[in-house]
Structures are given as structure tokens and as C-alpha cells.
Structure 1
Amino acid sequence: MKRFRLGVIINPLAGLGGSVGLKGSDGVANDAIAKGAIPKAQQRMQQALAVVLPFADTIDIITASGDMGADLCRQMGFQTNAVYTCSATTSSLDTQQAVTYLLEQQLDLLLFAGGDGTARDISAVVEDKLPVLGVPAGVKIHSGVYGITPHASGLVVSMLLKGELVSLMSADVMDIDEVAFRQGTVRAKRFGEMMVPAEPRYIQAVKMGGKEVDELVLADIAADIIESMEDELYIMGSGSTVAAVMEDLGIDNTLLGVDVIQHKALIASDVTAKQLLELTNDTESCPAKLVITLIGGQGHILGRGNQQLSPELIKRIGKDNILILATKTKLKALEGRPLIVDSGDPELDKALTGYYKIVTGYNDYVMYQVANPDLVEN
């Protein structure tokens, strides 16, 4: 029986800027590390590969040296061959050169961990020569080439290994201007497309861009939240729906970051994961609530552009203190697909499943499910 030849590429710097509020990693990796950021791309790839570990005897992994793949794959027990030696400090050039070498290895699939910048680098080399699948590990995940979570990416690979019928589709590679992003402006652009295994339950849609235009609905949602505010700390997540609440309060808002308010006044602006843990150190005497919205078209409420909201913070706040805001238009666009949490802690993601009361207007709510379909075994 022919062994499955799986290419593996990890961008070790992917996602570094998220937890420290830098809203990306492009060109700011050293700053992120100086602020205390901890690399997570290895962990994200490990979560994906753990799903296919039962098939290890039938897989040959072709990868790059060290942190770009070989160390992790060997540690997990896979038959591993490193065909490219990466630099001591990896860069986008390493990604592109590694993929160039991998293309010569007659791969069945290339699995990579990174963000939109990594997808761009790979797309520039792969084009339509090879099926690819991304493991989400970056701050920005606008492209449609990723699984909805690392576990979901692993499930798609396992379907291929089991010989299940999995079609291929073309998916857009998107990226944004990180400099503008850090200044609160989203400028998304299409950079090409790649072939991905087409499994709608597990592969994310390309993010819907643009600001909510139904200002009356947003005003109603804001009015409901403001009227219910008490003395707790309110951690205000990113996105235009949450921004509407801040605007009605007359508070400067970090559209693409996380702010903290109390008594309807700003306590801290554009905070990092560490700062949030410091601010919520005593939730018994000073309870905290989290106000978030979903990413249009995808349904993610945690783990996309708000990595400041760490698993430790979510556990501290508690499921019952998470307030989700969304217009009915955004919810209907999901066509029944559940909301998704991808916190980086699979056990926490499971604990957060269930039905939530979503604020959709003034005294107007719907019940909607957080289900993480990739955690449901076939």
C-alpha cells in the first residue's frame, strides 16, 4: 500500500503579535517576544497532527528542519524527512524556499501552520501544483485555505487517510495591510488561490469584510447592553458591533483591539493578554464580563483577531459572563452553522459549547449554538 506523503511547514513566528496586542506578526516578531509573547504555532500544528497520529505507520512526513517542522514531527513519532535546512531566525524566504524543495517530493498534501502572511508565501510558490491545508496559527485568518480549528484541519487529513471521498476546491488567499490594521483600518486584498480539500464542516469560509451598515440595529444592540451594565469590569472585544456600544457610551474605541471599561468609563485601552489577567486578578470582589461579537461569514467568536482573550482569562470570567452581540443578518448568513471558539485550549473549547442568548437588538435575543463541529467525531 502506498504511503501517504504529507508535507509539513510551520511558521514558528505566526501569531506572536496577537496576545500582546500587536494585531499581527509581520515585521514585529522581536517586539512581540520582548513584550512576553510565547510562540504557539508548534502547539497548533501538534493539535492537528495528534488527530492523524493513529495513521503514523502509513505516513511519510516531508518537512523543513528544526522549528519549521522536523523537531515536532520526530518528537511525535512520525517517519520524518527534512529536505530543507532553515535559518536560525526564520523568515518568509525560508517558507518559500522550503515549499520549493517540498514540491519536488511528490506530496499528496501540504499541511502548514501560520496566518495569512504564511498562506501568501506558500501560494506564491505552490499556485495550483499541490493541494494545501492550513492550520490556523496566526492573528489574521482571512483566507479560505484553513481549517476552522487545528483539530478540524487534522480531521480533514484523517478523512483523506481513511480513503473517504474529499473533493478539492479553489479557495482565496487573502491578507491585509498590518500597518493600517494596527491603526484601526482593515484593507483586505486577494493575493491568489490554492486548492484545498473541500469539507464544508471543517474548512472556514473567507471572512466577510466591511463594516455593519444597519446603524439602527447596532444602536438597538448598544442600548440593550448599556442599560444592563452594572459595576463589573466589561472587557470589550474587537469588531464594529462592539464598537457601536463604545460609540454610544462616548468612549474612544480600539476597533481591532480589546478595551476595558467600568462604570461606563474607560479603564484601559488596547490591552494585552497579560494586562487583562492583571486587571481581572480578583474577580470575586470585582467581577468581569466579556462582550464579543462574531466574525461575519465564519462564526468565530474567540481565536480570530482577539488572542488577547487567553484561555486563562476565559476560564476566570466564566461561560455565564460572556455576552455575545450580533445582528440577525450576520447570524442568518451562517446558514445554520454553529458559532465557533478556537481558544487554543481544546478542553476549554468543549466546555464553552452549548446554546447562548445572543443580543440582536433592544430587548431582542435569539438562542444560538456554539458547537465546534470538528470536536464531534464521525
Structure 2
Amino acid sequence: MSAKFRLGLLINPYAGIGGSVALKGSDGADIRHQALAKGAKPQAQLRAEQALQLLLPYKDQLEIFTAAGDMGLALCQSLGLNASAIYHPQQTPTEASDTQAALQRMLDNEIDLLLFAGGDGTARDICAVVEAEPDKAITVLGIPAGCKIHSGVYCVTPAAAGRVVEDLLTGKAVSLMDADVMDIDEQAFREGRVRARRFGEMTIPAELQYVQSVKIGGQESDELVLDDIADHVIEQLEPEDLCLMGSGSTVAAVMERMGVVNTLLGVDVVQDQALLANDQTAEQLLAQVAKHNDPERVKLVITLIGGQGHLFGRGNQQLSPALLKQIKRQNILLVASKAKLSALNGRPLIVDTGDADLNRQLCGTIAVITGYHDKVLYRIASPA
């Protein structure tokens, strides 16, 4: 009988907790406390579960090494996966030091792959340990669970991470490659400035249909194109439309054309080219829609993340599944320059809302506003 696959599993229980309440990050105890006070619910366990569900048919082939409680063991036990807790957190809530200490124990146990759920901060914590132990070669794979996912070590969806591990378990020849670990200055992010920097690299399985690209930084520079896109969007809006304005510089250009203040990395609410509310949380957006006189008149203006193609689930967790289910597909106004679409090199757009049924409903082709009276059709992929 062949040796079992030695899988390390680490979950950052509070990854992404600031997203739905418009805090634009989860780094640090203060932000975590603010998020919990605002009613945010941890989602990392659910994201990890979506990946692990795909591994249940192979549980007899797995030997899982993890940390106690919400860092991994509790989820494995609930799914019926055999797992050993080789690390017990030293504090509650857990901190970055727990992630790093748990990983050190896993390296000592010579795992075949580290599967971890978190965001860019978690990837940085792991990378620091990996780079400090160059003689202990390790392959890693990230389950996206954070507010900001700029790093190339993450899969496009939680299910995609499960598919990659499944490929390894079923004997598929999987190549390896090095991927950048990126992170941004969260304080600058909250002030509308994206300052991304590279912190290192880690080895990942090179399954490019499942692994995301590193996010392209910077803002659109072609002002004429952005003005054309803005003019077209404004022409489509009626005075009675309640407009939810997503994050990103392309949407910001639309609001600038309207003459209203934009939250570059948040979600704003506009009606009849007048600002109703800035930087709304998931619950606040649901309340705005609930009190609107005509649900048929709720529209959403969004753009995609350059280089990655994500529409939902990256940096806009305020657009919750409960909210998106109330917006008609034809009322989603997707805006992007043709240059931004070309940078995807034919890769489809991605939806990762956390709701599998909603993801499937959103798949297919969608019209992208690329200029004044200029649209192209582009494909939204079925999540892996």
C-alpha cells in the first residue's frame, strides 16, 4: 500500500472579516474588533470547506496535519476527515504568530503540500517562514478567503483549490512554478491609494486554469476612454434608478463624470446623479435596496480586477450573495476598457461570491461597456 499524501492545512479564522463591513482589510486586532462589532461573520471556515468537500472521496489517501480549533481541526472533524492537531494556538483570537508556529511544526513533519485559507497577509506570514527554511522545500496553495487577494499563490476560487489537490491525489502530472507573494498598505488602501509590493515568492502547482494571476496595479490612464464609458453609463440611468457603484478606478471615473464623491475601494449609492451614501457595508446596501420604491430599478455598476478578471469576491465583499440575488442580470452594468480586457489574454471573467448556486447563475456571456455606445461580449466562467 502506497504512503498517504501528507497534507498540511492552515486556516486563518478571521481572514476577510473586514470585507462585508467595508473595512477593506482584516489585518490587526483593532480592525478585527471593529469588524466583529459591526456584525461581521467569519467566512474563512466556509471557504475552506468548499475546497475540502472535493477531497472527501479521497479521505483514505490523506494524512492531514493541522492546528487545533478553528485553524483547521474543527473543520476536518465536522467533515469526517482524519486529521492530527500538531499545534495548539497560544491565544484566542489567533494571531499571525500562531500561523507561523503551526507551519513550522508542519515543516518538521515533512508535508507534501500546504493548503491554507486566508488573504495576502496570511500569505506573507507563511512566506516569511518558508523563506527562512530554504532547506525544507515546500509547495503551497492558497484558498482565497481574504478581502484583498493580490498574490499569485491563490487559486481563483476555493473549489479550484480542491481541484488542484484532487489532481495530485489522482496521480496527474502537475508541474510546479514560483508565484509572487504580494500585499498592500491597508491604511493607504482605506484612503483610496493602492500601494502593492512584492514580499517574496513560493512554489505552487502550475495549474494555470485554477490559479489566479497577480493583480495588475495602477489606475486607468486613458482618460478619453474612461470619459466615453462614463457618458454611456450615465445615459443608461434613469432618475428613479438606485445605483450601487462598485469599487475600482473605472467606476470612479463614472462617478467623477457625475460630479459626486467616490470611494475608490468601497461601494457607494447614487440616485439621479446625486450621492445618497458613501462606503456602504453589506447590511447597509441591503437596507438601501429594501427601502427603494422599485426593486426593478436597482442597478449595479462594476468593473473587473485588472489582470485577474474577478467580478465578485475580491475587494467587494459588500456585494453579498443576498444583495446580488436581488439585482436583475440586465441591471448589472459592467464597465472596462478594451485594454483591460485584452490584458486577460482570453481568460474568462470569474465570479466567486461564496454561493455556488449564484455563481452558476451568473455564468455565461455578459455585455461589457467599453466606450460610448460601444460594447463587447465576454464570458464569465463556471467556477471550478
TM-score, length-scaled by structure 1:
0.98
| C-alpha displacement of 1:117 | 0.1
1:35 corresponding residue in structure 2: 38
Aligned mate of 2:48, from 45, 49, 52: 45
1:20 aligns with 2:21: yes
| C-alpha displacement of 1:294 | 0.4
1:239 aligns with 2:248: yes
Aligned pairs for 1:287-366 within 5 A: 287-366=297-376
Runs of 4+ in 1 over 6 A off after TM superposition: none
Amino acid in the other structure paired with 1:272: T
| C-alpha displacement of 1:373 | 4.9
Aligned mate of 2:66, from 58, 63, 84: 63
Distance of 2:374 and 2:103 partners within structure 1: 50
1:175 aligns with 2:183: yes
Aligned mate of 1:188, from 190, 196, 205: 196
Distance of 1:320 and 1:74 partners within structure 2: 43
Any idea what SS the aligned residue of 2:231 has?
A: helix
CA contact (8 A) 1:202 1:373 kept: no
| C-alpha displacement of 1:283 | 5.8
Aligned mate of 1:136, from 129, 144, 156: 144
Q: How many residues align?
A: 374
| C-alpha displacement of 1:344 | 0.7
Amino acid in the other structure paired with 1:117: G
1:84 aligns with 2:87: yes
Aligned mate of 1:164, from 149, 166, 172: 172
1:118 aligns with 2:122: yes
CA RMSD of aligned residues (A): 1.0
Distance of 1:123 and 1:131 partners within structure 2: 11
Residue identity (%): 60
1:106 aligns with 2:110: yes
| C-alpha displacement of 1:285 | 2.1
Distance of 1:282 and 1:269 partners within structure 2: 17
1:97 corresponding residue in structure 2: 101
Q: Could you tell me which runs of 5 or more consecutive residues in structure 1 were left unpaired when the two chains were aligned.
A: none
Q: Deviations over 1:16-53 (max 9, x none)?
A: 00000000001210100000000000000000001111
| C-alpha displacement of 1:333 | 1.1
| C-alpha displacement of 1:282 | 4.9
Distance of 1:343 and 1:201 partners within structure 2: 18
| C-alpha displacement of 1:372 | 3.1
Distance of 2:347 and 2:50 partners within structure 1: 23
Distance of 1:90 and 1:292 partners within structure 2: 34
Amino acid in the other structure paired with 2:347: R
CA contact (8 A) 1:201 1:373 kept: no
1:4 corresponding residue in structure 2: 5
Distance of 2:254 and 2:92 partners within structure 1: 46
1:75 aligns with 2:78: yes
Q: Deviations over 1:312-347 (max 9, x none)?
A: 000011222111001001111111111000001111
Distance of 2:280 and 2:292 partners within structure 1: 18
| C-alpha displacement of 1:284 | 6.3
2:270 corresponding residue in structure 1: 261
| C-alpha displacement of 1:227 | 1.1
Amino acid in the other structure paired with 1:61: I
Q: Could you tell me which runs of 5 or more consecutive residues in structure 2 were left unpaired when the two chains were aligned.
A: none
Amino acid in the other structure paired with 1:225: V
Amino acid in the other structure paired with 2:87: Y
Distance of 1:126 and 1:288 partners within structure 2: 47
1:270 aligns with 2:271: no
Amino acid in the other structure paired with 2:354: G
Any idea what SS the aligned residue of 1:67 has?
A: helix
Distance of 2:312 and 2:71 partners within structure 1: 26
Distance of 1:146 and 1:252 partners within structure 2: 33
Any idea what SS the aligned residue of 2:279 has?
A: coil
TM-score, length-scaled by structure 2:
0.96
Any idea what SS the aligned residue of 1:225 has?
A: helix
Q: Deviations over 1:155-206 (max 9, x none)?
A: 0010000110111100000000101111111110100000000001000000
